[in-house]
């Protein structure tokens, strides 16, 4: 859950900064409202500017912006760096937390369509595909193994959709005639809701799916069982 961790760090940092800035400005505002309320004997200052203060303030702001941009870009590269890891593996991060040797990522081809999802497993025998119609509460489940990298190739059959798993703090758009690829990795077993985040027409609000992470053994079992249905369309 690389994305979730990075989101957590950066969101926390920026919220703290934003909170601090808000409090400072609110205090300046409130204090001047109280102290500068019009009353007999109080005269308004006629000062027009304060060049020195303005310039130093701008410099501080610029330095702050530069810090924020580079820090968050660095975090972004950590995230996409993991994304690009179809390259020969063995980098520190994956072996550090992994259970044993880093294995080849699991590939899933996700196809969005009006108004549901299809998950294809090209590495499984008989190129297993899972789908549903997202009606009457019947939504498809994207089953993946825990602890392994999952490489998602995302596209669409018709209009633009967006694949969002709020618990992962990540989404990516699904375009027709274009494939977006990214990598996720899930540390623990569980089931999370996924939604379509890009408006795609009448049933956009119903276009859900489940993301289900199971231990690798169970995953293997699940693949064999479903592949036995020879490209079966049910999950």
Partner 1 sequence: MTVPATSDPADTRTAEPDGWLGWLTTTDHKRIGLLTLATSVVLLFLMGILALIMRGQLAQPGEDLIDAHTYNQVFTIHGSGMIYLVMTPFAIGLGVYLVPLQVGAPALATPRTTLLGYWLYVLGALSMLCGFAIPSGAARSGWFSYPPLADSDYSPGAGPDLWVIGVAMSAIGILLMAWAVLWTVLRKRAIGMTMLRLPVFSWSMVVTCLMVLGAFPSLLAALVLLALGRGDPAIFDSNVWNIGYQHLFWFYGHPVVYVMFFPYLAAVAEVLAVFCGRRFFGYKATVLSLLVFAALSMSVWGHHMFTTGQASNDYYSLTSILLTVPAGAEYFGMLGTLVGGRIVFRTPMLFALAFIPQFLIGGLTGIMTGTPVIDYHVTDSYFIVAHFHYTLFAGSAFGLFAAVYYWFPKVTGVMLDERLGKIHFWLLVVGANLTFLPMFGLGYKGMPRRVNTYSSVDGFGLLNLLASCGAAVLAAGMIVFAVNILRSLLRRRRGGLAPMPDNPWNAHTLEWATSSPPPPENFTPDRPLPPITSNAPLLDLPMAQKEAEGANPGKTAQPGEPAGPAERSGL
> Where along the sequence are the contacts to Cu ion (CB under 5 A)?
161, 196, 200, 204, 207
Q: What is the DSSP string of 120-155?
A: EETTSTT-EEEE---BTTB--EEEEETTSEEEEEEE
188 binds, among Cu ion, partner 1, none (CB under 5 to 8 A by kind): none
The residue (of 159 and 189) whose beta carbon lies closer to partner 1 is: 159
**H or E element that contains 195:** strand 190-196
Q: Which does 36 bind (CB under 5 to 8 A by kind): partner 1, Cu ion, none?
A: partner 1
Alpha helices by DSSP H, listed for 84-210, are: 92-97
160 binds, among partner 1, Cu ion, none (CB under 5 to 8 A by kind): partner 1
Q: Which residues from 193-232 bind partner 1, rule CB under 8 A?
A: 193, 195-205
Nearest distance from C-beta of residue 126 to partner 1, angstroms: 30
Q: State how far the Cα of 3 lies from the Cα of 185, in Å rounded to an integer.
A: 9
- Residue 81 burial by Cβ neighbours in a 10 Å radius (0-12, 13-18, 19+): middle
Q: Is 84 in the site for partner 1 (CB under 8 A)?
A: no
Contact positions with partner 1 (CB under 8 A) in 97-126: 114
Q: Distance between CA 196 and CA 179 in Å, rounded? A: 16
Task: Give the 3-state secondary structure of residue 87.
Answer: coil
CA-only gyration radius of the chain, Å: 25
Binding string, residues 173-192; x marks residues near partner 1 by CB under 8 A: x-xxxx-x-x----------
Query: Of the two residues 172 and 189, which places its CB atom closer to partner 1 in the complex?
Result: 172
**H or E element that contains 23:** helix 2-35
Residue 6 touches partner 1, criterion: CB under 8 A: yes
Nearer to partner 1, 18 or 228 (CB): 18
The nearer residue to partner 1, 175 or 232, going by C-beta atoms, is: 175
49 binds partner 1, rule: CB under 8 A: yes
Nearer CB in complex with partner 1: 158/225: 158
Least CB distance to partner 1 at residue 161 (A): 10
Alpha carbon distance 190, 175 (integer Å): 28
């Amino acid at each position: 859950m690389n994305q979730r961790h990075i989101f957590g760090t950066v969101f926390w940092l920026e919220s703290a900064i934003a909170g601090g800035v808000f409090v400072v400005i609110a205090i300046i505002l409130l204090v001047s409202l109280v102290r500068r309320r019009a009353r007999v004997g109080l005269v308004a200052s006629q000062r027009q500017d304060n060049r020195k203060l303005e310039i130093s303030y701008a410099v501080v702001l610029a330095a702050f912006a530069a810090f924020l941009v580079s820090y968050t870009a660095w975090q972004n590269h950590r995230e996409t760096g993991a994304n690009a890891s179809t390259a020969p593996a063995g980098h520190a991060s994956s072996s550090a937390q992994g259970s044993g040797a880093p294995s080849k990522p699991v590939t899933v081809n996700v196809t969005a369509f009006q108004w549901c999802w299809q998950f294809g497993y090209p590495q499984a025998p008989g190129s297993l595909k899972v789908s549903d119609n997202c009606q009457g509460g019947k939504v498809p489940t994207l089953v993946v193994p825990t602890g392994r990298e999952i490489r998602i190739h995302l596209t669409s059959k018709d209009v633009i959709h967006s694949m969002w798993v709020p618990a992962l703090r990540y989404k990516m758009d699904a375009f027709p005639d274009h494939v977006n690829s990214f990598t996720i990795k899930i540390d623990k077993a569980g089931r999370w809701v996924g939604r379509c985040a890009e408006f795609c027409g009448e049933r956009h609000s119903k276009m859900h799916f489940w993301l289900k992470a199971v231990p690798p053994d169970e995953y293997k079992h699940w693949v064999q069982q479903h592949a036995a249905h020879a490209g079966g369309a049910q999950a």
